């Protein structure tokens, strides 16, 4: 219950934290409302996986080090580099299929094909393992849970509370009827990718 | 019959009758005198009255030439670039006088001593609307360049001029506008149309990042103009990276590319404020129209447009793209006099002289008032340098 309440209380901050990764993707990929909800579900699935990985880390770190030092264990710079790389790659991929045998087209099909789940799940996972302020709070609470099941349960309910704030996102995908919006979304993804790459590199030093 | 020259045709917008010229000119003379002096008696200190007199004459002579010759951009760019270069001189000297350095320390930021500039308006407004938090570390009221003052000025200018703000008020735009005039012919001509959407992408990116981090992401990482104003104190790897990015953006987008392309590349291909400002073109009373009955599709306007705001598609529709900065360069360049400033709701091409005059008055007055103080400020520092050997007291 405490996880759910924390998620509900800090959902806007979580939303703001995930929005840079999710907004350009939904804007560029979005089709019908149903398709957009499917993309969101895949993103949230990836995010849940990230949360559960953290739940295990939080429980084990809580046992070993105490809740206060958990943040130092996470190679956040590396996560940002991976997220940045993924966003930049997505931004660079051609919006339309070009040469069928080309590497770009094959990558595009893998990452952004209408049936591909790789991109939204990866984006969700990489944003899920980031340390936004409410997430740090959740991490500390989970570390105090005492058991692995308690830690997992806390994160699962925290995830549920924050996920409610993502429900309007598929509507954004409806804006992309205009080709310019899709182009801007792709470019945004590239810009954000470069930003996260640089931010990640700066964190490693 | 040989094609008439651009200069001869543009002068069709000129006011030639002496009494009409005086009538059009006199109100601006009085308005600028009132606004530049602030209604106060002129100081006997030469360091104050000389910059005031020079800037008053400078602005008014060029406005007279605009009216007399019918050219807009030709004289606007002189004022606009002078304002920008003197702003930089005045601002840097002021910073050094106040802080002893151009670097902005973390303690100064924590105390809210960062001067606010219009570039961060979009990234400040959206988080403020969503979270009721002003993410910029500056004064809301009072102090130097407060947030509320700049926002109020921006709203007024945007309602009147739309994105004309970028060609008549932005004290950064004049730098690249000046650099873009250095070569007679561009060395780089072809820039893909898709790059003109990059400012909108950067706008979306910095808005999302500012909302996520509750800090002005644009100022921290992307502002090219930090190079010539104030920058974060370089004291670790992260601030070093930020400084390198900003200097590279300034050198590339404000100096080198404008020289090579004869375009305002920072404004047209990068500036998120410009992208945001483009939407205000929808609410302002003015726009640029092409009279399709006169247009011969020569493409001269698209060729000279500094912000990539004209292309075959917009020309065929008889107007500009959303990003038009109302600089007037296309109006000056059109060999058929087909392009004119236009007041929305009136017939296209009707009374081009009147339409131009009705646009010129608010635009020029804004430039004279906003830029006049910057020109005075810069001139004061130059005079101080000449008289004392130092730009700072």
- Per mean pLDDT, which range of A10-19, A69-78, A196-205, B47-56 is the poorest? A69-78
Nearest residue of chain B to residue A134 (CA atoms): B212
Residue of B132, B201, B232 to mutate when probing chain A, most A C-beta within 10 A: B201
Residue of A135, A169, A186, A191 to mutate when probing chain B, most B C-beta within 10 A: A191
pLDDT at B5: 47
pLDDT at B2: 42
A/B interface, count of CB pairs below 8 Å: 61
pLDDT at B3: 43
Domain extent for B201: 102-284
Point out the domain boundary residue: B227, B250, B284.
B284
Q: Would you say residue B2 lies in a domain?
A: no
Q: Are residues B250 and B131 in the same domain?
A: yes
Residue of B208, B248, B271 to mutate when probing chain A, most A C-beta within 10 A: B208
Dist CA A130 CA A124 (whole Å): 10
> Are B237 and A183 a contacting pair at CB < 8 A?
no
Shortest alpha-carbon distance between residue B367 and chain A (Å): 32
> Are B241 and A198 a contacting pair at CB < 8 A?
yes
> Are B198 and A187 a contacting pair at CB < 8 A?
yes
pLDDT at B11: 61
Q: Are residues B372 and B330 in the same domain?
A: no
| Cβ neighbours of residue B294 closer than 8 Å, sequence gap 6 or more | B336, B337, B338, B349
Shortest alpha-carbon distance between residue A88 and chain B (Å): 13
**A145 has a pLDDT exceeding 70:** no
* CB contact at 8 A, B145 and B256: no
Q: Are residues B92 and B115 in the same domain?
A: no
pLDDT at B250: 96
Q: Are residues B132 and B212 in the same domain?
A: yes
Please tell me if residue B42 touches chain A, with a CB cutoff of 8 Å: no
Dist CA B207 CA B218 (whole Å): 9
* Of B187, B85, B167, nearest in space to B331 by CA: B167
Q: Are residues B217 and B113 in the same domain?
A: yes
Residue of B131, B135, B204 to mutate when probing chain A, most A C-beta within 10 A: B204
> Are B241 and A202 a contacting pair at CB < 8 A?
yes
Q: Are residues B77 and B182 in the same domain?
A: no
**Max CA separation in chain B (angstroms):** 70
Q: Would you say residue B106 lies in a domain?
A: yes
pLDDT in tens, A93-129: 765 555 555 666 676 667 666 667 888 899 999 888 8
Touching A: B residues 192-221, CB under 8 Å: 194, 197-198, 200-202, 204-205, 208-209, 211-212, 217, 221
Dist CA B373 CA B379 (whole Å): 10
pLDDT at A197: 92
| DSSP secondary structure of A13-50 | HHHHHHHHHHHHHHHHH--SHHHHHHHHHHHHHHHHHH
* CB contact at 8 A, B80 and B165: no
- Nearest CB neighbour to B197, from listed A16, A20, A187: A187
Q: Are residues B196 and B262 in the same domain?
A: yes
pLDDT at B265: 96
Task: Give the residue, B53 or A58, on which the prediction is more confident.
Answer: B53
**Max CA separation in chain A (angstroms):** 55
Q: Would you say residue B4 lies in a domain?
A: no
Domain limits, chain A:
2-204
- Nearest CB neighbour to B211, from listed A16, A185, A188: A16
Chain B residues with CB-CB distance to A185 below 8 A: 201, 204
* Of B76, B4, B21, nearest in space to B353 by CA: B21
Nearest residue of chain A to residue B194 (CA atoms): A183
Q: Are residues B314 and B361 in the same domain?
A: no
Provide the number of structural domains found in chain B.
3
pLDDT at B56: 95
Dist CA B295 CA B338 (whole Å): 6
Task: Report angle CA B306, B307, B313 to the nearest 5 degrees.
Answer: 105
Q: Would you say residue B6 lies in a domain?
A: no
Report the SS3 class of residue B231: strand
Supply the CATH number for residue B291's domain: 3.30.70.20
Shortest alpha-carbon distance between residue B238 and chain A (Å): 5
Packing angle between helix A148-163 and helix A2-9, nearest 10 degrees? 30
- Nearest CB neighbour to A183, from listed B194, B217, B241: B194
Helix ranges, B135-197 (H): 147-161, 165-168, 173-179
* CB contact at 8 A, B330 and B304: yes
**Residues recorded for chain A:** 205
Chain A residues with CB-CB distance to B208 below 8 A: 16, 19-20, 23, 188, 192
Residue of B131, B195, B205, B249 to mutate when probing chain A, most A C-beta within 10 A: B205
- Nearest CB neighbour to B237, from listed A17, A24, A202: A202
* Of B232, B242, B236, nearest in space to B103 by CA: B232
Which two tokens mark B367? 């430039």
> Are B237 and A205 a contacting pair at CB < 8 A?
yes
Q: Are residues B242 and B338 in the same domain?
A: no
Packing angle between helix A11-29 and helix A33-64, nearest 10 degrees? 140
Which residues of chain B form beta strands (DSSP E)?
103-104, 231-232, 286-290, 339-343
> Are B237 and A198 a contacting pair at CB < 8 A?
no
pLDDT at B270: 96
> Are A183 and B197 a contacting pair at CB < 8 A?
yes
- Nearest CB neighbour to B212, from listed A16, A184, A190: A16
Tell me phi and psi for residue B287, to 5 degrees.
-155, -175
Q: Would you say residue B191 lies in a domain?
A: yes
Q: Are residues B302 and B236 in the same domain?
A: no
Shortest alpha-carbon distance between residue A112 and chain B (Å): 19
> Are B217 and A195 a contacting pair at CB < 8 A?
yes
Task: Give the residue, B93 or A70, on which the prediction is more confident.
Answer: B93
Chain B residues with CB-CB distance to A191 below 8 A: 198, 201-202, 205
- Nearest CB neighbour to B212, from listed A20, A198, A201: A20
Chain B residues with CB-CB distance to A123 below 8 A: none
Q: Are residues B249 and B300 in the same domain?
A: no
* Of A193, A197, A172, A195, nearest in space to A119 by CA: A193
Pairing verdict, β B339-343 and B286-290: antiparallel
- Nearest CB neighbour to B204, from listed A17, A188, A201: A188
Chain B residues with CB-CB distance to A183 below 8 A: 194, 197
Interface confidence, given as ipTM, is 0.86
Q: Are residues B221 and B341 in the same domain?
A: no
Point out the residues of chain B with pLDDT beneath 50: 1-9
pLDDT at A195: 93
Touching A: B residues 104-143, CB under 8 Å: 130-131
* Of B161, B125, B370, nearest in space to B280 by CA: B161
Chain B residues with CB-CB distance to A132 below 8 A: 212
> Are A24 and B204 a contacting pair at CB < 8 A?
yes
């Amino acid at each position: 219950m405490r996880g759910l309440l924390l998620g509900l209380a800090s959902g806007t901050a979580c939303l703001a934290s995930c929005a840079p990764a999710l907004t350009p993707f939904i804007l560029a990929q979005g089709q019908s409302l149903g398709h957009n909800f499917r993309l969101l579900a895949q993103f949230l699935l990836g995010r849940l996986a990230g949360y559960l990985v953290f739940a295990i880390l939080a429980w084990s770190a809580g046992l070993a080090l105490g809740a206060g030092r958990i943040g130092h264990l996470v190679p956040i710079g590396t996560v940002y580099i991976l997220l940045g790389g993924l966003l930049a790659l997505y931004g660079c991929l051609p919006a339309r299929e070009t040469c069928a045998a080309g590497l770009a087209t094959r990558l595009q099909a893998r990452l952004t094909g209408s049936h591909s789940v790789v991109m939204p799940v990866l984006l969700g996972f990489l944003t899920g393992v980031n340390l936004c302020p409410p997430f740090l709070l959740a991490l500390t609470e989970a570390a105090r849970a005492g058991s692995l099941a308690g830690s997992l349960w806390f994160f699962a309910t925290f995830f549920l509370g924050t996920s409610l704030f993502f429900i309007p996102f598929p509507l954004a995908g409806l804006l992309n009827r205009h080709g310019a919006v899709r182009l801007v979304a792709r470019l945004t993804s590239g810009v954000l990718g470069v930003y996260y790459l640089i931010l990640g590199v700066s964190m490693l030093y | 019959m040989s094609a008439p020259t651009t200069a001869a045709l543009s002068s069709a917008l000129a006011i030639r009758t002496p009494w009409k010229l005086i009538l059009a000119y006199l109100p601006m003379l009085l308005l600028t005198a009132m606004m530049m002096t602030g209604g106060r008696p002129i100081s006997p200190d030469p360091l104050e009255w000389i910059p005031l007199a020079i800037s008053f004459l400078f602005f008014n002579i060029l406005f007279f030439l605009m009216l007399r010759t019918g050219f807009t951009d030709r004289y606007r760019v002189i004022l606009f670039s002078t304002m920008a270069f003197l702003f930089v001189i005045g601002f840097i000297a002021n910073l050094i006088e106040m802080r002893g350095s151009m670097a902005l320390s973390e303690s100064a930021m924590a105390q809210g001593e960062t001067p606010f500039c219009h570039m961060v308006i979009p990234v400040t407004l959206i988080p403020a609307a969503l979270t009721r938090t002003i993410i910029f570390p500056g004064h809301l009221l009072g102090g130097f360049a407060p947030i509320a003052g700049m926002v109020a000025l921006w709203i007024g200018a945007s309602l009147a001029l739309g994105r004309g703000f970028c060609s008549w008020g932005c004290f950064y735009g004049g730098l690249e506008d000046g650099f873009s005039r250095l070569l007679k012919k561009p060395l780089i001509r072809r820039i893909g149309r898709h790059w003109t959407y990059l400012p909108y992408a950067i706008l979306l990116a910095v808005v999302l990042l500012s909302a996520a981090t509750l800090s002005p992401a644009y100022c921290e990482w992307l502002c090219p103009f930090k190079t010539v104003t104030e920058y974060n104190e370089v004291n670790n790897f992260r601030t070093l990276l930020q400084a390198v990015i900003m200097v590279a953006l300034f050198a590339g987008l404000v100096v080198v590319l404008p020289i090579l392309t004869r375009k305002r590349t920072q404004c047209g291909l990068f500036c998120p404020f410009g992208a945001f400002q483009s939407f205000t073109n929808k609410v302002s009373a003015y726009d640029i129209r092409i009279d399709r009955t006169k247009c011969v599709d020569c493409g001269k306007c698209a060729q000279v447009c500094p912000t990539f705001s004209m292309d075959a598609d917009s020309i065929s529709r008889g107007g500009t793209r959303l990003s038009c900065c109302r600089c007037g360069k296309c109006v000056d360049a059109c060999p058929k006099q087909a392009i004119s400033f236009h007041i929305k709701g009136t017939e296209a091409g009707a009374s081009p002289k009147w339409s131009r005059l009705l646009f010129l008055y608010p635009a020029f007055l804004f430039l004279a008032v906003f830029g006049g103080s910057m020109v005075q400020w810069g001139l004061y520092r130059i005079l101080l340098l000449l008289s004392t050997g130092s730009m700072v007291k």
